Amino acid sequence: MQFARFGMITVVATGMVVATGCATVTDSMKAVQQMVTPSPSAAASAPAAVVAAKPIVPDAPVSVAVQRSYDDALRLMRAGRNDEAERGFRALAQANPDLGGPHANLGVIYRQAGKLNESASELEQAVKINPNQPIYLNQLGVTYRHLGKFDKARDAYEKAIALDANYAAPTLNLGILHDMYLGDGARALELYNRYLALSPSGDAAVTKWVAELKNRKAAASTVAVGKKEKA
């Protein structure tokens, strides 16, 4: 069970950052941005696709040439050609300092490579450029969790949810954080139920976790009563 939840929170959500830097993105790309797309290694334990209620908050208008370069880097990233994608996003970031999307994608690439400090730095830069982008904050929370910075992860997830209360991914990630790392089962249960309410297709794994937490809570109550009676 712990492995499954670990896999959930470490999902590389390509769809959550793939096109967050450009205002001229097509409607079809916007739809992709707003769903969770797990990496192949995490597919077995990944959540069902969930749609954010609010539209992507663009960083700044871009030219057709910049949009094309951005899309090219995205295709490389989706194809697993991360070295080439990294070069593309790095060039975009240097040439377009007002865009957070390239930094966010670099943060995901570095996290995949185990370069967690670099990942945090890039995602922090993305958030600095556009603090109103919940997708950046969710990804930053994931990296902070990897680094063991649980308070910072919680803060990032909570800020993402504050920006979009119907954004399911940080709701789930915050639930997992409380469940597995902060030891707050009651809060985790609340967040899991909220996530399920935001997931129109349901999620069998999280439904099971809810049942387990309820059973755990009931067992703890029984033990507490038993101890009181013995006293």
Beta-carbon contacts of residue 197 (< 8 Å; ≥ 6 apart)? none
CATH of 2-220, one of 3.30.420.40, 3.30.70.1450, 1.25.40.10, 1.50.40.10: 1.25.40.10
Question: Cβ(192)–Cβ(206) under 8 Å?
Answer: yes
Going by C-alpha positions, the residue among 68, 50, 53, 60 that lies closest to residue 23 is: 60
Least confident of 53-62, 68-77, 173-182, 183-192: 53-62
pTM of the predicted protein model: 0.76
In the chain, the percentage of residues whose pLDDT exceeds 70 is 70
Handedness of CA 27, 31, 34, 36 (dihedral sign): negative
pLDDT digits (tens, 9 = 90+) for 163-216: 999 999 999 999 999 999 999 999 999 999 999 999 989 999 999 999 999 998
What are the sequence ranges of the domains in the chain?
2-220
